[in-house]
């Protein structure tokens, strides 16, 4: 992002009252820290305290107002917005693990569907307090498609629990815009990576941890699924751009894809991580993954055209920063290599 644009955004956020749900997750942690850096007054809606979360370890939590609440309770959502006079809402809170959603679909639907309509309804009831509302969606909302890359006008066709929950959340956000004029925008990102992701079942943190301790990384798939991989700071810049532009008629109510438009197979991202770390990957291929979409590729030209957004972090640079974060987190000295 250009320096001038960053300066303009900083002025926009100074003193702005912002609510972030899902603040303890990877994106929520980085987003809260950046909002604080830009002078915003940040409120975090938190379900469970996790001392390992980057939200706490980075010190961001010390400068945020924290509301302990549950998205599945409309009272908690209303309180978080109303008591703190939230002008902007970033809705990131969700069950984000595909495997967990597969094992417990009800829990996934409660968090991702009920949680979304509760927060949207709270903002509607308190109108016109909230002037921008960003819903963090996913490429999973599109479901399986023979036509790629996904563009924003394509139908939402999730078929499995996690994918369906994201399709539903998107449709709910659209309903609150079209029916009630709620200033909603929707962000659909590819696979997000970066420091602070402690869900070790995900391919990037799991691979890095395995290689740092001298173990072979494990692939649940056959290594062939294709995904976009986007660095967490690029995601934060995307969310901020959406919120700032929410009052523009060509942006409000719209969904936007965000991706570097450099799709890779799972095996290729593992090899890229290993190359950055200076070791051989030699993964264990389980090929046991079920109900996962084979290929997902996003077209981000709409974001470039209407938001002037483009990713600032090439894959190698993002992976180097990510590996450095996990080295520090796991206490592995700089330059140390896995021993085989």
Closest CA relative to residue 42, chosen from 1, 11, 95, 87: 87
Q: Which residues pair with 134 in a beta bridge?
A: 90, 185
Judge whether 92 and 25 are in contact, CB under 8 Å: yes
Q: Quick one: CA dihedral 7, 64, 25, 242, positive or negative?
A: negative
- 43 Cβ neighbours under 8 A, 6+ residues apart: 17, 18, 19, 20, 64, 65, 66, 67, 80, 84, 86
Q: Which of 162, 176, 193, 239 is catalytic?
A: 162
Respond yes or no: is residue 162 known to be catalytic: yes
259, 228 in Cβ contact below 8 A?
Answer: yes
Helix, strand and coil content of the chain, in percent to the nearest 5, comes to 45, 15, 40
Q: How far apart are CA 16 and CA 183, in angstroms?
A: 16
The single-letter DSSP state of residue 333 is P
Q: Are 274 and 337 in contact (CB under 8 A)?
A: no
Distance CA 249, CA 246 (A): 8
Residues 6+ apart with CB under 8 A from 258: 187, 188, 189, 190, 230, 234, 235, 238, 298, 300, 303, 309, 311
Q: Tell me the two tokens of residue 149.
A: 């890359």
- Cα separations (Å) of 173 from 113, 119, 181, 221? 10, 10, 10, 32
Radius of gyration, alpha carbons of the chain: 19
Annotated catalytic residues are 162
């Amino acid at each position: 992002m250009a320096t001038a644009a960053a300066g303009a955004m900083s002025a926009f956020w100074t003193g702005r009252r912002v609510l972030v749900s899902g603040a303890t997750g990877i994106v929520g942690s980085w987003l809260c820290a950046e909002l604080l850096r830009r002078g915003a007054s940040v409120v975090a809606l938190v379900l469970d305290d996790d001392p390992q979360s980057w939200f706490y370890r980075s010190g961001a939590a010390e400068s945020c107002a924290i509301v302990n609440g549950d998205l599945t309770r409309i009272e908690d959502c209303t309180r978080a917005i109303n008591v703190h006079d939230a002008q902007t809402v970033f809705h990131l809170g969700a069950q984000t693990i595909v495997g967990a959603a597969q094992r417990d679909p009800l829990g996934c639907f409660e968090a991702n569907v009920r949680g979304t309509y509760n927060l949207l309804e709270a903002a509607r009831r308190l109108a016109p307090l909230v002037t921008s509302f960003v819903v963090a969606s996913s490429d999973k909302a599109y479901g399986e498609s023979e036509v790629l890359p996904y563009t924003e006008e394509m139908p939402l066709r999730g078929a499995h629990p996690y994918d369906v929950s994201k399709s539903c959340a998107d449709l709910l956000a659209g309903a609150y815009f079209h029916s009630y004029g709620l200033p909603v925008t929707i962000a659909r990102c590819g696979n997000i990576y970066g420091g602070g992701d402690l869900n070790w079942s995900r391919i990037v943190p799991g691979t890095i941890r395995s290689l740092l301790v001298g173990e072979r990384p494990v692939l649940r798939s056959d290594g062939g699924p294709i995904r976009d991989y986007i660095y967490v700071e690029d995601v934060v810049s995307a969310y901020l751009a959406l919120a700032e532009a929410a009052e523009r008629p060509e942006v409000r109510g719209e969904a936007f894809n965000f991706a570097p438009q450099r799709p890779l197979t799972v095996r290729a991202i593992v090899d890229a991580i290993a190359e950055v770390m200076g070791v051989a990957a030699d993964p264990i291929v389980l090929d046991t993954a079920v109900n996962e979409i084979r290929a997902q590729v996003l077209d981000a030209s709409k974001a470039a055209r209407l938001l002037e957004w483009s990713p600032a972090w090439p894959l190698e640079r993002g992976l180097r920063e990510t590996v450095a974060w996990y080295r520090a987190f796991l206490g592995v000295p700089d330059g140390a290599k896995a021993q085989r």
